[in-house]
C-alpha cells in the first residue's frame, strides 16, 4: 500500500506534498516522510505516525525547496519506526527514494550489496533499491535515472518509485510495476506525481497514468518523457481528470465515513444515471454491452474480489442466478489466484473493486486472462489498474471514497450488479416483461428510500449507546441478506474493534448459538419476503437463550417488533433490492459505536484502503 506524492516546479514543494499525503493517508498511516532539495542540499524529514506528526515535526524547521518527494507508509518489512519511514537515502546522502510495493527478492539483493560494503540502516525492502541504484550508478558511471532503469531489471516484485538526487536538482525519475502512479502535468512546466489523482486534482486536470514497467523522466519546464524498462521511448497518453475537488473534502461532516454514508442516495442515483430508464423499460450498460451475449452463454461468471467488494459480489451472485439464471461463482481473489482454478475461454471473470488496485484481484484477473477467459471489471476509481487491464467494464460512479471502511462504494457495487442481472435477464428472456418493468421502477425508487433509511440515524445512535461496550456481536441474514450480515459484522469489527461475525441465520444453530447469552447483541435482517417466517423462528431461538435482538424490519411490521429488543424500519421494496436498504442501518450503527468508543473512524488501526500488496 503506502501513498506517494512528489512535486517539481517553481512553487514551494513542501505544502503541496503534505496536503497530498493527507489525501493519500487512506493508503497507510504508519509513518510519513519527505525529502526536499534546497540550494544543492538534500534534506530528509521523517518520523513514525501520521502525516500530522510529520507536519508538527517539521514545523520548526525550514522545509524549503521546489522539488521534493513524500511518502505515507503502511508497514510491510520492518515495524513503523522513524528509521523505517521513507524516503530512504544513499550512503553518500545524494539520492533519495520513495516506494510503494514489495521487493520480493530484497534479501538476495541485500546480501549482495552488503558484500560490496553497503550498510543498511532500516529493515525495509526499499532501502535495497536506493543502494542498488547508487551501486549501478557508480559502477556503470551513469546518472541516477539510467541507474534506476537498469536496477529495475534486477528487481522482482511490485513498485511505484520516485527518486531525486541533489546532483540533478532539476529532475526526478519515477517508475511503476503493479503499484499505481499518476503524473499531473501543470501549466507552468511543473509536475505532480501521486499514487492516485486526489493530490493532483486541485492543480491540474491533465494526467498520465504510468503503465507497468514504464519509467518517467521529469524535468521542470520540459515535456514529460516516458521509457520502457528496455529504454524504448514511449508517447505519453494524456487524460483529462473528471474528479472535482469538493468531492475530496468533508463538506461539514465530522468524518468522511459519515459523509459517505449520507451521500448514498446520490451515489446510487449516479450509478443508475443514463443506465436505467424505467419508463421505457430499458437498462443500458454501455461499458459491457458488447460482452453481454458472451456472459449469457458463458459456462460460469466468476466474480473475484476482496473485503467489502467480496460481499457485494455475493449479493451479485444471488441476483444474477435468480434473475438471469446464469451460473455464478464468487471467489476471494487471494484464494482463486493460488489454487490452479479450472478456467477456459467460455468463462467470464469479473473483478469487483472499489480502488481498482487491489493486488490479489489484479493477479486473479491476470491469471484468468492467461487461461483465455474474458475479464471484466466493476471499479469505482476511474483509470485504475483493473479498469485498464480488463477487456471491458463498468464504473460504479460512487465518487471518491476516503473513509477506509467502505460504505457508498458497496451500495454502488450492489446497484451496478443489480443492473447487470436485470440487463442479462432481459436479454436472455429469463424474466417476464412485466416483472422486469416492476423491478426497474422499484430500483429507480431506491435512492429516495435510502433517504428515508438515513432518517433512522437518531434511533440508531440510541441503539449504539446501548451496545457500545459489547465484546461480541452476531449478524444474521438469509438469502441476499446473508452478505449484508457479513458486511454489517465487518463494518463493526474494522472500525470499533468489537469482535463480530456474520452468519446465514439458519447456520446459527450449528455453532454460534453456543455463544448466545444476555450480553450478546444479535443483529438480524428480518424484512418481509420468502424467508421471513424462518428468520422469525431464528429470532425465537435467540430470545429463548436471552440474547438481545436488534432487527431490521419492513415498515409496519408488528410480528418481529413484539419479540425484538429494538427494531429499525426500512421502506418496503422488492426482496432482491433489500440489501441496498438494509446495509445502511448497519453502517450507521458501526459508525456511532466507533465514535462512542473513541476509535479513529476514518483510519482504523492496521488497515489501509487500497491494498496493493498480497
Ligand atoms: C481493503 C479496504 C476494504 C476493501 C478491500 C478491497 O481491505 O479496507 O474497504 O473492501 O480492501 O478493496 P477494493 O478496492 O478492491 O474494493
Q: Quote the pLDDT of residue 222.
A: 95
What confidence score (pLDDT) does residue 466 get? 96
Q: Which of 118, 106, 174, 168 is nearest to 143 (CA)?
A: 168
* Tens digits of residue pLDDT in 292-311: 999 999 999 999 999 999 99
Note the pLDDT of residue 77: 86
- pLDDT for residue 78: 87
CA distance 166 to 162: 14
Q: In angstroms, what is the span from residue 406 Cα to ligand 1's centroid?
A: 7
Distance CA 456, CA 220 (A): 54
Q: Which of 614, 198, 279, 250 is nearest to 441 (CA)?
A: 279
Q: Is the pLDDT of residue 263 over 90?
A: yes
The full set of domains in the chain, from first to last, is 3-247 (3.60.20.10), 253-444 (3.40.50.10490), 451-599 (3.40.50.10490)
**pTM for the model:** 0.84
pLDDT at residue 248 greater than cutoff 90: no
Which positions are catalytic? 2, 609
Q: Which of 98-107, 308-317, 345-354 comes out lowest in average pLDDT?
A: 98-107
The pocket around ligand 1, CB under 6 angstroms, is made up of 306-309, 353-355, 358, 361, 404, 406, 607, 609-611
Alpha carbon of 409 to ligand 1 centroid (Å): 10
State how far Cα 118 lies from the chain centre. Answer: 37
State what percent of residues in the chain have pLDDT above 70: 100
Mean pLDDT, the chain, integer: 94
* Contact status, residue 65 vs residue 7, Cβ threshold 8 Å: no
pLDDT of residue 548: 95
Q: pLDDT at residue 122 above 80?
A: yes
Residue 458: Cβ within 10 Å count: 8
DSSP lists the bridge partners of residue 355 as none
Closest residue (by CA) to atom 5 of ligand 1? 307
Supply the pLDDT for residue 397: 93
Neighbours of 430 (CB within 10 A): 16
Burial (Cβ within 10 Å: 0-12, 13-18, ≥19) of residue 69: buried
- What's the rounded Cα separation, in Å, for the pair 183 and 195? 9
Best of 196, 261, 355 to mutate for ligand 1, by most ligand atoms within 8 A of CB? 355
Count of C-beta atoms within a 10 Å radius of residue 157: 17
For residue 270, is pLDDT > 90?
A: yes
Alpha-carbon span 494 to 591, nearest angstrom: 10
Q: Which atom of ligand 1 is nearest to the CA of 351?
A: 15
Predicted confidence (pLDDT) per residue in 360-376, tens digit: 999 999 999 999 999 99
Is 462 a residue whose pLDDT tops 80? yes
Is the per-residue pLDDT at 262 higher than 90? yes
pLDDT of residue 165 exceeding 80, the answer is: yes
pLDDT at 479: 94
Q: Indicate the SS3 state at residue 178.
A: strand
Distance CA 246, CA 524 (A): 36
Q: Is the pLDDT of residue 60 over 80?
A: no
Q: Is the pLDDT of residue 493 over 90?
A: yes
Confidence (pLDDT) at 252: 83
Residue 610 has pLDDT above 80, yes or no: no
Q: Give percent above pLDDT 90 in the chain.
A: 87
Return d(Cα 389, Cα 378) in angstroms, integer: 12
pLDDT digit string, tens, across residues 332-351: 999 999 989 999 999 999 99
Q: What is residue 413's three-state secondary structure? A: helix
Beginning with the edge strand found earlier in the chain, give each strand of the sheet holding 225-228 in spatial order.
88-89, 95-103, 157-165, 171-177, 214-219, 225-228, 233-234
Q: Compute the distance from residue 88 Cα to the ligand 1 centre, in Å.
A: 28
Backbone angles phi, psi at 8, to 5 degrees: -140, 130
Residue 612 has pLDDT above 90, yes or no: no
Q: If you measure from the C-alpha of residue 403 to the centroid of ligand 1, how many angstroms do you get, rounded to a whole number?
A: 11
- The residue whose CA has the least distance to atom 1 of ligand 1 is 609
Reply yes or no on whether the pLDDT at 614 is more than 80. no
Count CB atoms within 10 A of the CB of residue 274: 11
Amino acid at each position: 500500500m503506502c501513498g506517494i506524492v512528489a512535486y517539481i516546479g517553481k512553487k514551494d514543494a513542501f505544502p503541496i506534498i503534505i496536503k497530498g499525503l493527507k489525501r493519500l493517508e487512506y493508503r497507510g498511516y504508519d509513518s510519513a516522510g519527505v525529502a526536499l532539495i534546497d540550494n544543492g542540499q538534500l534534506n530528509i524529514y521523517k518520523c513514525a505516525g501520521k502525516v500530522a506528526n510529520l507536519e508538527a515535526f517539521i514545523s520548526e524547521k525550514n522545509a524549503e525547496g521546489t522539488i521534493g518527494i513524500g511518502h505515507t507508509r503502511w508497514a510491510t518489512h520492518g515495524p513503523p519506526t522513524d528509521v523505517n519511514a521513507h524516503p530512504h537515502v544513499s550512503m553518500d546522502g545524494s539520492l533519495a527514494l520513495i516506494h510503494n510495493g514489495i521487493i520480493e527478492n530484497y534479501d538476495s539483493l541485500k546480501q549482495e550489496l552488503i558484500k560490496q560494503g553497503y550498510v543498511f540502516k532500516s529493515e525495509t525492502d526499499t532501502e535495497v533499491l536506493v543502494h542498488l541504484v547508487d551501486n549501478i550508478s557508480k559502477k556503470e558511471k551513469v546518472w541516477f535515472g539510467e541507474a534506476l532503469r537498469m536496477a529495475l531489471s534486477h528487481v522482482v516484485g511490485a513498485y511505484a518509485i520516485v527518486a531525486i538526487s541533489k546532483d540533478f536538482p532539476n529532475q526526478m525519475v519515477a517508475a511503476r510495476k503493479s503499484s499505481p502512479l499518476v503524473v499531473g502535468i501543470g501549466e507552468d512546466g511543473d509536475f505532480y506525481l501521486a499514487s492516485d489523482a486526489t493530490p493532483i486534482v486541485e492543480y491540474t486536470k491533465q494526467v498520465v497514468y504510468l503503465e507497468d514497467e514504464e519509467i518517467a523522466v521529469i524535468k521542470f519546464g520540459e515535456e514529460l518523457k516516458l521509457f520502457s524498462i528496455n529504454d524504448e521511448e514511449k508517447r505519453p497518453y494524456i487524460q483529462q481528470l473528471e474528479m472535482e475537488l469538493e468531492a475530496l473534502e468533508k463538506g461539514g461532516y465530522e468524518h468522511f465515513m459519515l459523509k459517505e454514508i449520507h451521500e448514498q442516495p446520490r451515489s446510487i442515483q449516479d450509478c443508475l444515471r443514463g443506465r436505467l430508464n424505467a419508463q421505457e423499460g430499458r437498462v443500458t450498460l454501455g461499458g459491457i454491452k458488447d460482452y453481454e451475449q458472451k456472459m449469457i452463454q458463458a459456462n460460469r461468471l466468476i466474480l473475484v474480489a476482496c473485503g467489502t467488494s467480496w460481499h457485494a459480489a455475493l449479493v451479485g451472485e444471488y441476483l444474477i442466478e435468480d434473475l438471469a439464471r446464469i451460473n455464478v461463482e464468487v471467489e476471494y481473489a487471494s484464494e482463486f489466484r493460488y489454487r490452479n482454478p479450472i478456467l477456459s475461454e467460455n468463462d467470464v471473470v469479473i473483478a469487483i473493486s472499489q480502488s481498482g488496485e487491489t493486488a490479489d484481484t489484479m493477479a486473479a484477473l491476470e491469471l484468468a486472462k492467461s487461461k483465455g477467459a474474458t475479464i471484466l471489471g466493476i471499479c469505482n476509481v476511474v483509470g485504475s489498474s483493473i479498469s485498464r487491464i480488463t477487456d471491458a467494464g463498468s464504473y460504479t460512479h460512487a465518487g471518491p471514497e476516503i473513509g477506509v471502511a467502505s460504505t457508498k462504494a458497496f451500495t454502488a457495487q450492489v446497484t451496478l450488479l443489480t443492473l447487470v442481472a436485470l440487463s442479462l435477464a432481459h436479454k436472455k428472456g429469463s424474466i417476464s416483461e412485466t416483472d422486469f418493468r416492476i423491478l426497474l421502477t422499484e430500483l429507480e425508487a431506491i435512492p429516495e428510500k435510502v433517504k428515508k433509511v438515513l432518517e433512522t440515524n437518531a434511533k440508531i445512535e440510541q441503539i449504539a449507546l446501548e451496545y457500545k461496550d459489547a465484546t461480541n456481536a452476531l449478524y444474521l441474514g438469509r438469502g441476499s441478506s446473508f452478505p449484508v450480515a457479513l458486511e454489517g459484522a465487518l463494518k463493526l469489527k474494522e472500525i470499533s474493534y468489537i469482535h463480530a461475525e456474520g452468519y446465514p441465520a439458519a447456520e446459527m444453530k450449528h455453532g454460534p448459538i453456543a455463544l448466545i447469552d444476555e450480553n450478546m447483541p444479535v443483529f438480524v435482517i428480518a424484512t418481509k419476503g420468502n424467508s421471513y417466517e424462518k428468520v422469525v423462528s431464528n429470532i425465537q431461538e435467540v430470545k429463548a437463550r436471552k440474547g438481545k435482538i436488534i432487527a431490521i424490519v419492513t415498515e409496519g411490521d408488528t410480528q418481529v417488533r413484539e419479540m425484538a429488543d429494538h427494531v429499525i424500519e426500512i421502506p418496503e421494496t422488492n426482496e432482491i433490492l433489500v440489501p441496498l436498504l438494509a446495509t445502511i442501518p448497519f453502517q450507521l450503527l458501526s459508525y456511532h459505536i466507533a465514535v462512542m468508543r473513541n476509535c479513529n473512524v476514518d483510519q482504523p488501526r492496521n488497515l489501509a484502503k487500497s491494498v496493493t500488496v498480497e
